[in-house]
Structure 1
Amino acid sequence: MSQPGTDTSLLEQIRQDVSADRIEDDIRTLVGFGTRHTLSETDSETRGIGAARRWVYEEFQRISAACGDCLEVSYQSDFIEGEKRIPERTEVVNVIAIQRGEKDPGRYVIMSGDIDSRVSDVMDHTSDAPGANDNASGLAGVLEAARVLSKHKFAGSVVYAGLSGEEQGLFGGKIMAAQAKADGWRITGVLNNDMIGNIEGINGVINNTTARVFMEGTRMDETETEARARRFYGGEVDSPSRNLGRYVHRIAEEHIPNLDVMMIYRLDRFGRGGHHRPFNDLGYPGVRIMETNENYNRQHQDLRTENGIRYGDVIDGVNFQYAAKLTGLNALTMAALSKAPAPPADVTIEGAVSPDTTLKWKAVGDRNDEILAGYKIYWRLTSEPTWTNSRFVGKVDEYTLENIVIDNYFFGVAAVSKEGFESPVVFPGPAGDFYPHRNQ
């Protein structure tokens, strides 16, 4: 039985549509607001985070107008106070644009970037904090992805998010994740883009051909019973976030020339954080996509020159072609995820003391049935980082792999559309479930 071929022409068109020039224009505009610190000016039309978020909102509106009002653009906010980095009552405001899916609008993939910036003192909200790479680059990527993807239709919904309050404690992400949970969103993946424009590392390496994807291991909301089952049946390296990361890796490998993705089995950089974490905290799959070689002289620094070293996150430190390459990686990942059916649910496996392995799963449901071609079983040696073997098995809800011993491999199941687009691979049991405790 053969799997439908993937419509690579669509992905190639999306990749070619991403513009480094437009990304540069957006980064320059964001830098031009002087500072975008969460506690900065909100009334000025030209300076501070208030002006910046209004510009982002208006840009999403312009993008929506160009696609026949295909985006639902809104502010999302909450008041924060009594926190170490937000001691006084402050409204933290996100800007969200939703492109509703045509078949399964309750299923979402999210690309996020941060609006806010900072200098050396995290509480300094008046000094210039251009934040060109951290994180105007990520936010510009979100805007460009919206321009490109809004020209196309998808089965699932695509969300473009400008989040605030990241430097003060990931508050924008916490606000959005909590609202998503309250609204019952089924989130297939969160792609957090935080610093996607620097190619000159503090380590002296200059490299524009690699990127990093950070992805947590066991899910944060795992119960004691689920942890006990995972100990015996596996899943430590097959959380939804890990298999989302493998999906990103595969997109790069097959569709982004001259880009190698380094999959890092860690929530984030050592001891640090990003806006995918609040989603992970609530059980949603999410990863951080970013440059490989960071330059700490350009992060969280007052603008100055000392001992011949220039400090500060200025526009000169951004490589726009590289930012466009990572934006393309995001756009293709979101397109493929949103064109694919929902991941299968309730995947189970059996085959102890047997030469065969049997997998069973729940069909993706009526919302996805029209686009569903069938299912694909994956397996790999337990020491392999990516899926190495697969078999398309058609439109069934169980399948037995004969003479493939369960003890020697990890297994998973993906749903495949009639256009050949695949969902992420779902590892059996609660350790790998993309939508635990939620309606399918």
Structure 2
Amino acid sequence: MHRRPFLLFLAVLPCTALAAPPAEPPSRQPLLTELGTAPSAARIEADVRTLVGFGTRHTLSETGSDTRGIGAARRWIHAEFERISAACGGCLEVVDVGDTVSGETRVPRPVEVVNVVAIQRGSSDPDRVVLMSGDIDSRVSDVMNAIDDAPGANDDASGVAGTLEAARLLSKHRFAGTIVYAALSGEEQGLFGGRILADHAKAGGWRVEAVLNNDMIGNSAGITGIVDNTTARVFSEGTRVVETEAEARARRFTGGEVDSPSRNLARYIDRMADAYVPNLDVMMVYRLDRFGRGGHHRPFNEAGFPAVRVMETNEHYDRQHQDLRTEHGVVYGDTVAGMDFPYAAKLTALNAVSLAGMAAAPPPPADVAIEGAVTADTTLRWTRAPAAQAPDLAGYRVHWRLTTEPQWTHSVFVGDVTGHTLENVIIDNYFFGVSAVARDGSESPVVFPGAAGSFGGY
């Protein structure tokens, strides 16, 4: 009997069958597990009560008093950021970023709009920025009423208090990228603070990877009677507002309507909730904001930055933009009585784990491209981050999902390479993307190929 030599059999095996797959980084990060339950409801409550105690924080309110008005509020926020910085050995750069606004419908006289900003510089990639914000200003029924009490406990002392608490927690740690904590002004009068800070970011050369705008994160009881402290909403735009005509034509044929960087930022936040924040689910809303309404993430979108709105799921409209009063047994007004502080702490945790995860990860891959028409395989290529910006880069992960799936469902870690081919995965049937992974497992948001999904360059 003729026997085929064993060595000959080995010789005809495909080389890929003998190659070991790249070692995959850890799937969980201990710091993120810790941050998922770290925010203090008591500290958030204390901060909300302090902000409410300024009477009104209307953009047009007085600025000279130390006890009332938006001037007193922003000076207190500045001092609080300074106290947080002192506790971490001066790790925060606290600055006021403002401008004078005039000639606007809701600004009848020139007024100084001032944002209070704390910057925690990254260790290896300081120009890459992830940002959390809340809004300082408040209002009552008449948007021009700068005199009467406007507590603004939930809208939006909750967002500012959450931002302060995130700064307390994250400033204890070092990250590759920069984290910015911002208390924005002028939201109710026309989103002016966001526009001012977005312009400041562009002028300063910030590579903004993500903006998490927190506008009302402290109410769990809706106007419908539903009480739910287990969900949060994340609103995100579908296509980039800065998209060119040529980019729109390309997107028409290759996809990307639901894969803007803001939309994939929302998916990232959703995954972080599932992994690290107990008893919290994210409802991704495929809309820039609530129907016919606006928020302070929008100016960042308009500047071309990935930005989303993080907020409660069930709003109570009797507690928004209302004069303090009781009519026919119904209590109106945005007071501390309507707050759920453990819920605000939970949404603050959602921000903290998302900021920490992105800041610790390498920058999102740039120049992601895809090919595979009329073939059995799909190939993705990208540009590797410079070593100085990504010293802890372990490699890249390729993702794909059915076109009707809201979340990425399949992925493979491909190592420190600049391209990968998915064999027998038909390009026509799926959407694809690439993320960057650090040695400790920290991972960037997924980047959809082409201009439609680009987070920018290095």
TM range (shorter): over 0.9
Structure 2 match to 1:120: 141
* CA drift at 1:7: 4.6
Structure 1 match to 2:170: 149
Structure 1 match to 2:298: 277
Where 1:431 maps in the other structure, the secondary structure is helix
The 1-side partners of 2:194 and 2:345 are apart by: 24
Higher Rg of the two aligned structures: 2
The 1-side partners of 2:243 and 2:102 are apart by: 30
**1:54 alignment partner AA:** R
The 1-side partners of 2:453 and 2:119 are apart by: 27
Listed as ranges, the gaps of 5+ residues in structure 1 are none
The 1-side partners of 2:283 and 2:173 are apart by: 29
Deviations along 1:27-59, one digit per CA (max 9) or x if unpaired, are 000000000000001000000000000000000
Structure 2 match to 1:191: 212
The 2-side partners of 1:33 and 1:256 are apart by: 32
- 2:190 corresponds, among 151, 169, 173, to 169
Structure 1 match to 2:430: 409
Where 1:335 maps in the other structure, the secondary structure is helix
Structure 2 match to 1:107: 128
Aligned pair 1:297/2:318, yes or no? yes
**1:346 alignment partner AA:** D
**1:169 alignment partner AA:** G
The 2-side partners of 1:257 and 1:8 are apart by: 15
Listed as ranges, the gaps of 5+ residues in structure 2 are 1-20
Deviations along 1:86-131, one digit per CA (max 9) or x if unpaired, are 1100000000000000010000000000000000000000000000
Deviations along 1:322-378, one digit per CA (max 9) or x if unpaired, are 000000000000000000000000000000000000000000112333110000000
**1:393 alignment partner AA:** V
**1:153 alignment partner AA:** R
Aligned pair 1:69/2:93, yes or no? no
Structure 2 match to 1:82: 103
Bigger Cα displacement from structure 2, 5-14 vs 285-294: 5-14
- 2:199 corresponds, among 178, 182, 185, to 178
**1:269 alignment partner AA:** R
The 2-side partners of 1:205 and 1:86 are apart by: 37
Tell me the TM-score normalized by structure 2.
0.95
Deviations along 1:116-156, one digit per CA (max 9) or x if unpaired, are 00000000000000000000000000000000000000000
Q: Describe how 1:115-264 pairs up with structure 2 within 5 A.
A: 115-264=136-285
Q: Describe how 1:395-406 pairs up with structure 2 within 5 A.
A: 395-406=416-427
Tell me the TM-score normalized by structure 1.
0.99
The 2-side partners of 1:6 and 1:108 are apart by: 24
Where 1:168 maps in the other structure, the secondary structure is helix
**2:188 alignment partner AA:** E
Q: Describe how 1:1-16 pairs up with structure 2 within 5 A.
A: 1=21, 2-16=23-37
The 1-side partners of 2:188 and 2:291 are apart by: 16
The 1-side partners of 2:138 and 2:311 are apart by: 17
The 1-side partners of 2:54 and 2:385 are apart by: 46
The 2-side partners of 1:197 and 1:159 are apart by: 21
- 2:340 corresponds, among 319, 338, 361, to 319
The 1-side partners of 2:79 and 2:63 are apart by: 16
The 1-side partners of 2:166 and 2:99 are apart by: 26
* CA drift at 1:179: 1.0
Structure 2 match to 1:29: 50
**1:174 alignment partner AA:** R
The 2-side partners of 1:314 and 1:265 are apart by: 30
Aligned pair 1:379/2:400, yes or no? yes
Tell me how large the CA RMSD over aligned residues is: 0.7
Where 2:37 maps in the other structure, the secondary structure is helix
**2:154 alignment partner AA:** N
Percent identity of equivalent pairs: 67
The 2-side partners of 1:368 and 1:80 are apart by: 37
Q: How many residues align structurally? A: 437
Deviations along 1:242-265, one digit per CA (max 9) or x if unpaired, are 000000000001111111100000
Bigger Cα displacement from structure 2, 176-185 vs 363-372: 363-372
**2:386 alignment partner AA:** G
Aligned pair 1:432/2:450, yes or no? no
